[in-house]
Amino acid sequence: MKHHSGLVEVVTGSMFCGKTEEMIRRLRRATIAKQNVEVFKPAIDNRYHTIKVVSHSGSDFDAIPIKKASDILEKYSKDTTVIGIDEAQFLDDELIDIVNKLAEKGIRVIVGGLDTDFRGEPFGPMPILISQAEKVDKLHAICMVCGELASRTQRLVDGKPAHFDDPVVIVGANELYEARCRAHHSVPRD
């Protein structure tokens, strides 16, 4: 089934908020509706599987690993009507133009990714994708310190907050990261 017009949907928030779970839910519904679905993920994200998008709770969906955003244009099938892109914060800024071009071709593009890095700063192409999308859902996790809504990702090194000058990209899960609220998110600078 072809869409009348393309659109961009972004599912964002901190780690452990359910972004990938929500994206998989939307992709499954599109499959039930007999739409042609393809999913892409950065090859760097091999935490759970190399050719599947996998949520922290274990839901999964077949995916094509890519090294750079332009790989999407080379690898997607021309009869695809829905494209999912997980962990988009790890892709280069060319993703912004690619996502918009796909939507202009009538494709529904569902993008999942962190809106901010462990420092609390905008992450990769996500801020621009959020501002240009037709639909944006910002999900929240639960703060691991106080139980309030969490909107931040806390990186931990030996159980303590990572330093501001530490590398931005370190792929990991609950062994390196926690969800935190604004009050309990800490990024030491000294």
Q: Which residues are catalytic?
A: 87
Determine the distance from the C-alpha atom of residue 139 to the mean position of all C-alpha atoms in its chain, rounded to a whole number. 11
Pair 68, 94: CB distance under 8 Å: yes
Query: Distance between the two ends of the chain, CA-based, in angstroms?
Result: 55
Q: How far is it, in rounded angstroms, from Cα 21 to Cα 171?
A: 18
In sequence order, which residues have a C-beta less than 8 Å from that of residue 6 and are 6 or more positions away? 102, 103, 104, 105, 106, 107, 108, 109
Tokens of 102: 């796909």
User: Strands 60-62 and 149-150, how do they pair?
Assistant: unpaired
Pair 177, 141: CB distance under 8 Å: no
